[in-house]
């Protein structure tokens, strides 16, 4: 009798501790604890997504809600597992950047079934109605800016144009290419550029506006799959096959920084290439250094801080029972998804310091020769 009387208060204390611990916001979302906002990013292998992780961690310090960030490491199966693990932690909002837009539909549907609101982050989850919001950059503007840079730095006429694209499983790859094509096609038609490495693009060179199927044909032929190694191999194959008149001064549409650096390295090592202009995007540190060193021509700076801020305020609005602010819609094949879109900025050697260092995005000491 005496023993059990003593045991009760002790048990109560233990229980109170457990309740307190789960009620306290826990930003790291340690295993077993409840989490308010689950964040799933595609891979740690690309600096772009490590940037996003860092910016999320910085921004989340100031919210009262708890969160947990998981990486899918390039696998849709792992992505689904991550989402299931977060559902088990009782998340109310899922912020997810899909590895593969179509494949992620299953994960989004599982979340929807559990009553979770799904925010598609940077890349759109496609062909499902289980997406509540989309937060992204203006991806068509990204492609336009890359192409416009090539046009603005064109030399003479009939200049060889090498085209590269992102992964066909990523809806953004289509938007980037759509934007780029809208600027490049008139310049192919007027003879400024000659397509050097894509028979599919040559076959469509008179078509100003491509259908998704037409875009798909070109993208499948010149895809890098967002993989710098694949980009490198493709560039090598293209230069090996290229005739003399497809060398000299050339321009290259490279879809992002990771692929731009490897494509640039291949073109730089070919003695028959006299000069090249190459695009990029993401303002990755390594590419910022390439731009300072004159090895990559430009990048499109997508200020991840804004994207993170927008998606967190969207999540907080949802958690607070309010309707998040959106600026437009994006059709994902099944649904017009309310969207919050953010602008982008062109960066080259001339404004690299002002745009990326003086703005506080990076520190000067991270680079040499600024
Ligand atoms: C993103 C880019 C990124 C690419 C490869 C795209 O969806 O918008 O910023 O470079 O994926 O990860």
For the chain, 370 residues long, give each residue's pLDDT as a single digit of tens: 334 434 445 444 444 444 433 333 334 444 558 999 999 999 999 999 999 999 999 998 888 999 999 999 999 999 999 999 999 999 999 999 999 999 999 999 999 999 999 999 999 999 999 999 999 999 999 999 999 999 999 999 999 999 999 999 999 999 999 999 999 999 999 999 999 999 999 999 999 999 999 999 999 999 999 999 999 999 999 999 999 999 999 999 999 999 999 999 999 999 999 999 999 999 999 999 999 999 999 999 999 999 999 999 999 999 999 999 999 999 999 999 999 999 999 999 999 999 999 999 999 999 999 9
User: In terms of CATH architecture, what is 37-131+304-342?
Assistant: 3-Layer(aba) Sandwich (3.40)
Distance CA 278, CA 276 (A): 6
- This prediction's pTM: 0.91
CATH assignment, 139-302+347-366: 3.40.50.2300
If you measure from the C-alpha of residue 171 to the centroid of ligand 1, how many angstroms do you get, rounded to a whole number? Answer: 10
Choose the residue to mutate in 143, 170, 229, 347 for probing ligand 1, maximizing ligand atoms within 8 Å of C-beta.
Answer: 170
Neighbour-count burial of 31, counting CB atoms closer than 10 A to its CB (0-12 exposed, 13-18 middle, 19+ buried):
exposed
138 lines ligand 1 (CB under 6 A): no
Same fold flag, 37-131+304-342 and 139-302+347-366: yes
If you measure from the C-alpha of residue 256 to the centroid of ligand 1, how many angstroms do you get, rounded to a whole number? Answer: 7
Q: Taking a C-beta distance cutoff of 8 angstroms, is the pair 31, 19 a contact? A: no
If you measure from the C-alpha of residue 367 to the centroid of ligand 1, how many angstroms do you get, rounded to a whole number? Answer: 23
256 lines ligand 1 (CB under 6 A): yes
284 lines ligand 1 (CB under 6 A): no
Q: Taking the domains of the chain in order of start, what are their residue ranges? A: 37-131+304-342, 139-302+347-366
Can you name the residues that pair with 99 across neighbouring β-strands? none
Neighbour-count burial of 19, counting CB atoms closer than 10 A to its CB (0-12 exposed, 13-18 middle, 19+ buried):
exposed
261 lines ligand 1 (CB under 6 A): no
Distance CA 145, CA 19 (A): 53
DSSP 30: -
If you measure from the C-alpha of residue 96 to the centroid of ligand 1, how many angstroms do you get, rounded to a whole number? Answer: 14
172 lines ligand 1 (CB under 6 A): yes
123 lines ligand 1 (CB under 6 A): yes
Nearest to 38 by CA among 75, 64, 71: 71
């Amino acid at each position: 009798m005496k023993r059990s009387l003593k045991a009760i208060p002790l048990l109560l204390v233990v229980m109170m501790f457990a309740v307190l611990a789960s009620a306290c916001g826990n930003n790291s979302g340690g295993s077993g604890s409840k989490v308010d906002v689950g964040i799933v990013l595609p891979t740690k292998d690309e600096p772009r997504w490590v940037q996003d992780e860092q910016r999320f961690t910085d921004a989340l310090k100031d919210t009262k809600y708890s969160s947990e960030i998981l990486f899918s490491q390039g696998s849709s199966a792992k992505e689904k597992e991550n989402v299931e693990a977060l559902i088990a932690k009782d998340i109310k909002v899922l912020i997810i950047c899909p590895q593969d837009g179509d494949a992620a539909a299953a994960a989004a549907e599982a979340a929807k079934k559990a009553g979770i609101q799904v925010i598609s982050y940077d890349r759109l989850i496609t062909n499902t109605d289980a997406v509540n919001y989309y937060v992204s950059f203006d991806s068509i503007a990204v492609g336009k800016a890359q192409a416009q840079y090539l046009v603005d730095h064109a030399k003479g006429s009939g200049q060889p144009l090498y085209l590269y694209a992102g992964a066909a499983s990523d809806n953004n790859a289509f938007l980037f290419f759509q934007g780029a094509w809208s600027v490049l096609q008139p310049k192919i038609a007027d003879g400024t550029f000659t397509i050097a490495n894509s028979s599919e693009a040559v076959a469509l060179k008179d078509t100003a506006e491509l259908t998704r199927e037409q875009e798909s044909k070109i993208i499948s032929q010149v895809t890098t799959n967002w993989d710098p190694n694949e980009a490198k191999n493709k560039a090598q194959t293209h230069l090996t096959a290229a005739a003399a008149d497809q060398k000299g001064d050339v321009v290259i549409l490279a879809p992002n920084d990771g692929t731009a650096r490897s494509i640039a390295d291949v073109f730089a090592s070919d003695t028959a290439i006299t000069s090249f202009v190459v695009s990029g995007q993401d303002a990755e540190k390594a590419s910022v250094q390439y731009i300072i060193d004159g090895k990559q021509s430009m990048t499109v700076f997508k200020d991840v801080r804004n994207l993170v801020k927008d998606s967190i305020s969207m999540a907080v609005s949802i958690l607070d029972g309010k309707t998040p602010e959106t600026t437009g819609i994006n059709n994902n094949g099944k649904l017009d998804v309310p969207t919050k879109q953010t602008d982008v900025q062109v960066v080259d050697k001339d404004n690299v310091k002002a745009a990326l260092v003086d703005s506080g995005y990076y520190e000067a000491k991270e680079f040499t020769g600024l």
